Amino acid sequence: CKVFFKRAAEGKQKYLCATRNDCTIDKFRRKNCPSCRLRKCYEAGMTLGARKLKKLGNLKAQEELDWIFSAGRRSSKELSPGMGIPQLEGYSCQPIFLNVLEAIEPVVVCAGHDNNQPDSFALLLSSLNELGERQLVHVVKWANALPGFRNLHVSDQMTVIQYSWM
């Protein structure tokens, strides 16, 4: 699966599903629909940047991230007038920080709504509920992947998740 993902994600080819983007991908039918196979890879959390992060080593990456976040805390005291945006005076955007953000970027969540069935209030509400549930699961996974998130107090973790949900 790693080789397929690397080739498909780096390649210029666009895959399209011949059905409704809900093909079964298993050991025997994985070659039938590359579009759904690639989607399943993304849903499983695979990213091209993840390999680069592993190569850096956990200790070195953590030290660099600590430095980046401490620089952000030092400069976040100076806010733009009325904007609430931190100004990072004297600091440039660190490439490792951007790589981390790319690696943990949340996946796009689809509702799985069946367009072949007639719309009813109950069906639309059910689809919306399922979409919300999936999105919340992805937000929690994303938050747990943020560097330093697990070091926060539980109430602060919940606040971060609640504000990212809005």
* DSSP-assigned letter for residue 20: S
* CATH code linked to domain 1-46: 3.30.50.10
Percent of the chain residues past pLDDT 90, beyond the cut? 0
- For residue range 84-110, what is the model confidence (pLDDT) as tens digits? 444 444 445 556 666 666 666 655 555
Amino acid identity of 96? I
Q: Which of 85, 95, 89 is nearest to 75 (CA)?
A: 89
Those residues whose C-beta lies under 8 Å from the C-beta of residue 76, and which sit 6 or more positions away, are 86
Q: Is the CA virtual torsion 30, 31, 34, 36 positive or negative?
A: negative
Tell me the mean pLDDT in the region 64-84.
47
pTM of the model: 0.34
Structural domain boundaries in the chain: 1-46, 48-105, 109-166
- For residue range 141-156, what is the model confidence (pLDDT) as tens digits? 878 887 788 888 888 8
